[in-house]
Structure 1
Amino acid sequence: MSQLPALWRNYINGQWHTGQSGNLSVDNPANLSKVADITLASPEDVDSAVAAARACHNSAVLPAMRPVERGRMVRKMGDYLLENCDEIATVLTLETGKPLDEAKGEIQGAARYFEYYANQAETLDGRAIPLGKDYIDYTVYEPFGVTAHIVPWNFPIEMIARSVAPALVTGNTCVIKTPELTPLACTYIAKAAEFSGFPAGAVNILCGYGHEAGAALSNHPDIDQMVFTGSVQTGTLIAEAAARNLVPCVLELGGKSAAIICEDADLDSVVESVRWGIFYNAGQVCSALSRIIVHQDIHDELLQRLTHLAENLSVGSHDENPDMGSLVSMDQQRRVADFCQQAQQAGAIATTGGAPLDRPGAFFQPTVFSQVTANMAIATEEVFGPVLTVQSFADDTAAIQLANSTEYSLAGGVFSNDLQRIMRLSQQLKAGQVYVNEWYAGGVETPFGGTGKSGYGREKGREGLMNYVHSKNVAIRLK
């Protein structure tokens, strides 16, 4: 691709705007070089974006369309991403530090959301309710109106697509606040909306600080729906702000997910799942497989195989074609290192890794910890890095107790060839989704979300579509 622009802007009401809060330097975490500047949105810019979204919604241009027309426009957004995948992936790689193949996979995943929800556009039917011969009663689904989307830095393009696709296909308008660390590739969503023919104000994209633009958006009185993916601390603040305006939320706040490995499990499948479950995107995944709970009879063998896996993963910048890229920032590297240091001080043993790589950039060694106890922070708190803990169990009761011992409940897994045991353990796991014999089994079609500190509401699948509509009942007396 040609040289990147030196300055990137916000997108409001169909126009590119310079933010009123100065510029932000976006850096490449793999070599600490500057990628570009992006202008920062102020609270006044947030007001302008929300007003544009409100005006577009009030015009009724989107709800007035046949659903198939909205679906075709949403589908074209995905087509645009695929047609420009190489260019967008290059930008995404530079600002996130992830390998180029992973960046391309994220773009393709984002396009899949647009495809899936485009196909759902015509399926959102109301229903008739029998009230006797003197009445006709029916329900219809209507869009909320203006939806707000605050996006995390780990999968910025895919997370926008996950919520914006169902919002648009149901006739809502969108205001999106991108992450400060990885905002550049997000701007291609605006280009995709233009390419697809969405009217001005339907899609608005802002980069701004969380305490400034994010707070202004979550507190805005003219927002009808709020979607947030990120930390528990920030999610709590957003929920409080939304509650003051009586605005419904969908919150996805992370996890500390465990897989129970039974003694009859296929260990090749377990190792492959760990490869993608904790080392993909350098472990910066909310539903990462961060804990292995393995039967004591196969603990030593599996620990050896997982250690070998981690030791043989290449780590480097995208031009080195590595198995794993860098963390998103030096701050994130320090955070992961602190977790590892505390674990070792508490008695955990790093069978491999446990420290940053000895090279410039936010790189961290693929890490496996054994001798981990349930009270260690490494076993209970979300590290958000390439760090796996391995614990053993003697019976299924102990396995479930360990798996359910954190405040999170996003994902869980079971690896076994015993169907009855799989069903029993799956029922007992405290998790919004359970992966059996393959971590990340499922897809765009399957609902995703948790409870407790993992948040509430569901994204993906049919459940994700229902976030953006409310039901209206019409009762008609015939005489």
Structure 2
Amino acid sequence: MSFKNFLAGRWVDGDDILEVEDPATGETVAEAPLAGEVTLERALEAARKSAERGDLAAMVPQRRADLMRRIAQEIRSIAAEGAELLTRESGKRLSDARAEFDEAAAYFDYYGGMADKMEGKHIPLGPNYVDYTVLEPVGVSAQVVPWNFPVSLAARSLAPALATGNAVIVKSPELDPLGLTVLARALEAAEVPEGAVSILNGTGIDLGAKLVASSRIDQIVFTGSVPTGQAILRAAAENVTPSLMELGGKSAAIAFDDADLDTLLESVRWGIFFNAGQVCSAMSRLLVQRGLYNRAVEACAALANSLSVGHGLDEADHTPVISARQLGGIAQMVSAAIRDGAIAAAGGAPLARAGHFMAPTVLRDVRPDSRIALEEVFGPVLCMIPFDTEEEAIAIANGTEFGLVAGVFTHDLSRAHRVASKLRAGQVFVNEWFAGGIATPFGGIGKSGFGREKGVEALFNYVRTKNVAISLKR
């Protein structure tokens, strides 16, 4: 299969090529085209013209809603093909890759249902005035997508942007850009207006940097690391471009003595070992009250050791991390933590096999102020920390620069509410990590970023409020 960039409804070659690797084997999956400056300029021009013409904004809202649902249907029709491609380039399990395409379709269905329900309001100023607000699209949205969930996270921002009438340029991740090619085919088949969407593959340091620095965009949506987010914000400041940032996390779950251990283990399985721990909202720290701590450590270690390891196409429990560079960074942080006094109850090192596999790792007795307890690992590494009191647990959980998600495990409903209210996080899970869904707002505070994705709340990232005040005085 050959791959091209999706430029304003047309397929174009790149200025260069990039080999896309299978993380499970180290072999080349395909050659992806890299868009250069000329291609970007064409995409910017097309998006600007589309926004000014109102290709989507001037469309009758019901028609725009119908378009969104057609996109969802087209995504589902090619999801099986796309899932296999995504598995080969990202390393994730085939079932998880398929679920990613299903979730992408669900985003378009969800926001399709909202496309004709964005309403302004009347503001009463007395009998001599008529005052109302109008919600207008921001214009051109530049969206930089990460490599851990490229298809679903592209849909997460693309769907509300299109539902509210914007033009969009998506910069796909260079490590696994192929799945987004399949998403672009769905947009084409659904007959999205030409110019309204471009999906370009390129490196962050080249294409991404030029895109976010352009004066012809009206908004930046970024999901990724803190350093990259900071660089984008510096570029955004030059043009005062509004930005939506979903950055890193070092999220903590707090398990009290009365927590159900089986329930906790199920959340550990998904919270830190899903997608090899490459999840911004992963359960990277597990704080356990002293009376449950040793049993929890043993159970988490047994869980880690029980996971089958292998290729995503074989539906292994544990799959590779995305690249040799990523694996090296994870291994280095774990080694440093062990030298610093943490004990590897399970794993602790890369696996001796082809591909980029880190052993599912459980570190016990991690110091709350150690580097691995404060910095994002972005891999299958669970840091376990004991605590005695509720106040101590809250202080440890809030003791990082991040504030993306957090969790509480307890049968005490009063304590669950009390602790949730004190946790510094944009979302708190109680007795189930990753509870919620497309309808629940998601985003962080501190160095985890700002703004909210998902839910009805996300739509307001993509519109501006205009007030019209009319005097009726004679």
TM-score tier after normalising by the smaller chain length: over 0.9
Shift of 1:319: 3.6
Aligned match of 1:119: 113
Per-residue Cα deviation, 1:447-474 (whole angstroms, up to 9, x for no partner): 1001111011110011111100000111
From 255, 259, 262, the counterpart of 1:268: 262
Aligned match of 2:390: 396
Distance 2:314 2:158 in 1: 34
Aligned match of 1:242: 236
Superposition TM-score, scaled by structure 2 size: 0.99
Aligned match of 1:364: 358
Shift of 1:320: 2.8
Distance 2:430 2:365 in 1: 25
Shift of 1:318: 2.4
SS of alignment partner, residue 8 of structure 1: coil
Distance 1:185 1:224 in 2: 26
Shift of 1:375: 2.0
Aligned match of 2:5: 10
1:155-174 superposed matches below 5 A:
155-174=149-168
- The one-letter code of the counterpart of 1:9 is K
Aligned match of 2:184: 190
From 133, 136, 149, the counterpart of 2:130: 136
- The one-letter code of the counterpart of 1:118 is G
1:378-393 superposed matches below 5 A:
378-393=372-387
Distance 1:47 1:269 in 2: 52
1:339 aligns with 2:317: no
Aligned match of 2:49: 55
Does the CA contact (< 8 Å) of 2:426 and 2:443 recur in 1? yes
Does the CA contact (< 8 Å) of 1:170 and 1:468 recur in 2? yes
Shift of 1:161: 0.3
Moved over 6 A (4+): none
Does the CA contact (< 8 Å) of 1:77 and 1:189 recur in 2? no
Distance 2:211 2:36 in 1: 10
Per-residue Cα deviation, 1:118-173 (whole angstroms, up to 9, x for no partner): 11112211100011111111001000110000000000001100000000000001
From 87, 90, 93, the counterpart of 2:87: 93
Gaps of 5+ in 2: none
Gaps of 5+ in 1: none
1:76 aligns with 2:70: yes
Superposition TM-score, scaled by structure 1 size: 0.97
- The one-letter code of the counterpart of 1:399 is A
Distance 2:192 2:75 in 1: 15
Distance 1:438 1:75 in 2: 31
Shift of 1:45: 1.6
Shift of 1:478: 1.9
Distance 2:3 2:314 in 1: 27
Does the CA contact (< 8 Å) of 1:148 and 1:227 recur in 2? yes
Shift of 1:71: 1.5
Distance 1:53 1:320 in 2: 41
Shift of 1:211: 1.0
Shift of 1:43: 2.1
- The one-letter code of the counterpart of 2:8 is N
- The one-letter code of the counterpart of 1:18 is D
Aligned match of 1:351: 345
Distance 2:230 2:73 in 1: 36
Identity of aligned residues (%): 49
Aligned match of 2:17: 23
Per-residue Cα deviation, 1:377-431 (whole angstroms, up to 9, x for no partner): 1111100000001111110010001101111000000011111111110011000
- The one-letter code of the counterpart of 2:450 is Y
Distance 1:156 1:204 in 2: 15
1:329 aligns with 2:323: yes
From 416, 421, 430, the counterpart of 1:422: 416
- The one-letter code of the counterpart of 1:298 is L
Does the CA contact (< 8 Å) of 2:78 and 2:182 recur in 1? no
Distance 1:324 1:75 in 2: 34
1:412 aligns with 2:406: yes
